[in-house]
Structure 1
Amino acid sequence: MDRLPLFLDLHKRRIAVVGGGSLAARRIEALARAGAEVWLFATAWSDEFEALRGQYHLGDLGEHNAFFGFPLVYFAFQDGEEPEQPSNLALIARARTAGALVNVADHPGMSDFITPSVLDRSPLVVAISTGGDAPLLGRMLKARLETLIPAGYGRLAALAGAGRAALGDKLANHQARLRFWERIFDGPIAEMVLAGDDAAAHALLDREIADCRPDGSAADDQPVGEVYLVGAGPGDPDLLTFRAFRLMQKADVVLYDRLVDPTIMDRVRRDAERIYVGKRRADHALPQEEIGDLMVKLALEGKRVLRLKGGDPFIFGRGGEEIEKLAEKRVPFQVCPGVTAAAGCSSYAGIPLTHRDYAQSCVFVTGHGRDGPIDLDWSTLLRPRQTVAVYMGLAHLDFLMKEFLRHGADSALPVAVVENGTRANQIVVTGNVGDIAAKAVAAGLRGPTIIIVGEVVALREKLNWYVPKS
């Protein structure tokens, strides 16, 4: 290890930045966030510094003792100002003579310290350095960590900080405290914080500290489970949210249906139990009522249950029905939204649901009820300059298009049917209200599909960007 990583407390410390360009401005921003008293030394500076007013003081390079009292000095020379120029080398020497440690941007060999790429989840901070050899690689690694460390981990660290003193009074043994925090960070309290319920997490942490045993274990050994109702999106695993992926890695058992693509199931924790609950139209492997009962049963056994649903669970996904039973039985649960089919499939088909020139509103409806096609509010659907997205309508496509016509729609109104949207086997069939049903039959569409009705469909030829792999 060529350099020792340190985290410095810069609160109210005087730190100098030399330079008037973009890099100097970024240095000031970062130092001000860390609480430093920043002094800018420059003969001229760019317009970017207008937005930084109040975050720095102006210093005078003409003063003989300009750098005295500054433990760190950052040199951020502008393009064309090489650090090796005699005047700049003299400035760097003056800073070192004053007792400061020096950083020269993009010149690690001239620097006493380097500034790493920082992932800020304060008070949790992750720093990545390549020793100045490959700063771009450091930034790329930071970007990957951004996807793995949710923003809520900072609040989780703050929660632990708030409870440290009380736990130290309760548990003198270091191993007991480690056992306690391992249990907290991998349990319901951490999930409360990550879900945004900090108040409940603090209250439960106080109880856990008060009631824990001398070895750090819980006073009540009764397991406490939880249900994660997660939207898996329309199919492309890259559309999973960070939070969805994290919950997929925590689950002990997964309840999934046919709308969840196998590539998404590959991202579930490897050793999790998997239970297929079907949900094909008119052919449910497990009736809706029994799915709710099963989630309650598994959670009461202390298991972390992932209910993985295609699209978004609260948009024609019956997610509300499923968590009603959890609420009745007082089973802890949380809901993670997903990209709904209308948004995902339209985007991958090159069809914007709204457009200033074509559609100023968009309506989501379902084309399938308990006993077949449903009676829609046609006066609402047939408004001008509006897009209609129909979920679960393929089986009744011919009926729906005839109803559009019967209620006054133009037979030339554009329509698209997107099958397996966002997936490698996506198929898009376009037409109009008068002919789309026949075209869908000719194409052999089987579902799952989303039907998009409106003038925006005409933009597909121009805006189509996605090329399926099969």
Structure 2
Amino acid sequence: MNYLPIFVNLHSRPVLVIGGGIIAKRKIDQLHRAGAYIKIVASNICNEIKELMEIYHIEWISTKFDPIQIDSVFLVIAATNDTVLNKNIYLEANIRYKLVNVVDDKLNCNFIFPSIINRFPIILAISSSATSPILVRVLKEKLEALLPKNINEIAIIAGKWRNKVKKKFFSLSDRRRFWERIFNGPLVNQILKSNSKEVKLILNHSLNNQSNYTGEIFLVGAGPGDSGLLTLRALQVMQLADVVLYDNLVSKEVLELVRKDADFIFVGKKIGSHLFSQKEINAILVKLALQGKYVVRLKGGDPFIFGRGGEEILAAKEAGIPFQVVPGITAATGATTYAGIPLTHRNYSQSVTFITGHYHLENNLNNCVALILKGQTLVIYMGIITATKISNLLIYKGCTKSTPVAVISKGTLQDQKVLIGTLEQLGSLAASVSTPAIIVIGDIVNLHNKLSWFNDKVKYKPPKSSCIINLS
């Protein structure tokens, strides 16, 4: 982060503007809206600034810049077309530890002006660190469209009730939770409808009937890795979290979107290494929620598809703890889509089956052989370690060695790998990737070469010779 975003109180503070043209006028407008006391240095000033001098509190102190003028001001803005003068202004201000901005000259600034969305008292500032003003303008337009016109009224009402809430709730966490419930509840809609009477009733009722808070467990699907695939509800819940329990399938970019002051507990499981058993994870969730905390359980993919989410929610139910479940994009749909492999296609596959690669493997595969032979799709989670066994079992049961397969590693992430081969080569393919990874088996895999669109790092085909164990 090259710049620290801060909001500065300029009310009645002296600000020096060097320059008397239209660019200087634009900065003067901004400074006036912030309540600054504006001093101008310019050999000449344009008519627009002359008009402002009759309205704003502006003093034209000199026609010539002198470094001593900097000593008695809070910040300095240079808006002249003289590059040598602008450079000198920057140097003189900088050695005096003053905030200085040379308009449209990033190298001669120690602060920059952001693009502003003003819904006072709500103020949003957007910056690209002076790299792409056009991108900032586009983002501003999108944000402007998203914000309700009278969102400022929500902040004004909250400000009026702030002291009452402080008197009711001594704990910072209790106050935060009160406002979270308010801002995520019916009050906002009543404010947007300008229904002040109903707003007051809601606030009074909420203040007098929620003195004790119970915790809650949120089971959230974090998707296959790409943070852009999170649902809007997942993002909202992640911002409410007091504590987050996450596993090793949740990407770093997803974790960065969690509320910054939340506590994080890693409860991930890897092959041969379990920090916590499932029973212990369930107990931690319940214990934290009973302490009155909002507990977010972040799980890779979708929590109800091979994620043991059902077990965790049953534990919450048995303990009498409120819970919510936020679905996520499961690895099978996310990773295959990013690999250009549709799970169904009327000319290739009319159904898809998901199985795991380590529970009741032989029974699961027995049920899938007939489907594969009919041109259907099989997706295997957690099958990398048992890939050779899967290959041998399917071939033994009647699948052809040339059946197309794909192994997708780290699907949807920038280091995604898609390895294409045949069922006979599955063991070699799986040995060439890192986890997490899924296996796709069926004719649908042949579409990968035509439909691949994402960042495929490797397309690997091992030698045709492969060791097949005779299971007869």
CA distance in 1, matches of 2:221, 2:377: 24
Q: Determine which of 229, 243, 264 is the counterpart of 2:233.
A: 243
What is the deviation of 1:141?
Answer: 3.4
Superposition map of 1:399-410 within 5 A: 399-410=389-400
Alignment of 1:36-435 (within 5 A): 140-141=139-140, 143-144=142-143, 176=164, 186-187=179-180, 209=204, 212-213=207-208, 220=211, 222-369=212-359, 375-376=364-365, 377-378=367-368, 381-382=371-372, 384-435=374-425
Cα deviations by residue, 1:1-20 (Å, 9 ceiling, x for unpaired)? 99xxxxxxxxxxxxxxxxxx
Q: Aligned partner of 2:347: which letter?
A: D
- Cα distance in 2 for partners of 1:412, 1:405 equals 10
SS in 1 for 2:386: helix
- CA shift, 1:143, in A, is 3.5
Task: Go from structure 1 to structure 2 and tell me whether the alpha carbon gap of 1:439 and 1:173 turns closer, same or farther (over 3 Å shift).
Answer: closer
1 CA distance for matches of 2:386 and 2:291?
A: 42
Are 2:453 and 1:465 equivalent residues in the alignment? yes
Residues 368 and 374 of structure 1 are in contact (CA less than 8 Å); yes or no, is this contact kept in structure 2?
no
Matches of 2:439 and 2:201, distance apart in 1 = 51
The Cα of 1:459 is off from its aligned counterpart by 1.1
In the TM superposition, residue 296 of structure 1 has moved relative to its aligned partner by 0.9
The amino acid across from 1:455 in the alignment is: D
Identify the residue that residue 426 of structure 2 maps to in structure 1.
436
Q: Runs of 5+ in structure 2 lacking a partner?
A: 1-25, 30-122, 124-132, 170-174, 188-199, 459-472
Decide whether the 8 Å contact of 1:401 with 1:434 is kept in 2: yes
SS in 2 for 1:353: coil
Matched to 1:420, the amino acid is K
Amino acid at match of 2:454: Y
Going from structure 1 to structure 2, the CA distance change for 1:388 and 1:190 (only over 3 Å counts) comes to: farther
Residue by residue over 1:403-422, the C-alpha shift from the partner in whole angstroms, topping out at 9 and shown as x without a partner, is: 22122212211000001111
SS in 1 for 2:282: helix
1:261-310 deviations in Å (ceiling 9; x for gaps): 12211222222111110211342211101111111111111111111100
1:44 aligns to what?
none
SS at match of 2:438: strand
Question: Match of 1:448?
Answer: 436
Equivalents in 1 of 2:312, 2:144: separation in Å? 33
TM-score by length of 1: 0.57
CA distance in 1, matches of 2:316, 2:144: 33
Paired letter, 2:400: D
> 1:234 Cα deviation (Å)?
0.8
Q: What residue identity is the alignment partner of 1:291? A: I
CA deviation vs aligned residue, 1:105-149 (integer Å, no higher than 9, x gap): xxxxxxxxxxxxxxxxxxxxx9xxxxxxx9998775353477x87
SS at match of 1:305: strand
Q: CA RMSD of the aligned region, Å? A: 4.6
Deviation at 1:176, TM superposition (A): 3.3
Q: Deviations over 1:138-175 (max 9, x none)?
A: 775353477x87xxx99xx9xx9xxx9xxxxxxx9895
- Report the equivalent of 2:466: none
Tell me the distance in 2 between the aligned counterparts of 1:290 and 1:258: 17
Aligned amino acid, residue 413 of structure 2: R
Q: CA deviation at 1:353?
A: 1.0
With over 3 angstroms needed to count, the CA separation of the structure-2 counterparts of 1:349 and 1:415, relative to structure 1, is same
The alignment partner of 1:434 has SS state of helix
C-alpha separation in 2, matches of 1:211 and 1:339: 35
Contact 2:369–2:394 (Cα < 8 Å) also in 1? no
Partners in 1 of 2:434 and 2:316 — Cα distance?
A: 33
CA contact (8 A) 2:418 2:456 kept: no
Q: Which runs of 5+ in 1 are unaligned?
A: 3-125, 127-133, 165-171, 195-204
Change (3 A) 1:278 1:175: closer
Instruction: Report how many residues are paired.
Output: 323
8 A Cα contact 1:223 1:301, kept in partner: no
For the Cα contact (< 8 Å) 1:378–1:407, is it kept in 2? Answer: no
TM-score normalised over the length of structure 2: 0.57
1:362-382 Cα distance to aligned partner (Å, 9 max, x none): 11111122x876644235643
AA matched with 1:450: I
Instruction: Quote how far apart the aligned CAs of 1:179 are.
Output: 8.2
Q: Deviations over 1:178-218 (max 9, x none)?
A: 98897676345766779xxxxxxxxxx999955844xxxx5
SS in 2 for 1:460: helix
Give how far 1:356 is off. Answer: 2.4
Alignment correspondent of 2:86: none
C-alpha spacing 1:235/1:136, structure 2 compared with 1 (3 Å): closer
CA contact (8 A) 2:180 2:240 kept: no
Shift of 1:446: 2.9
Alpha-carbon separation, structure 1, partners of 2:337 and 2:413: 12
8 A contact 2:407–2:429 mirrored in 1:
no
Change (3 A) 1:292 1:416: same
Distance 1:459 1:240 in 2: 26
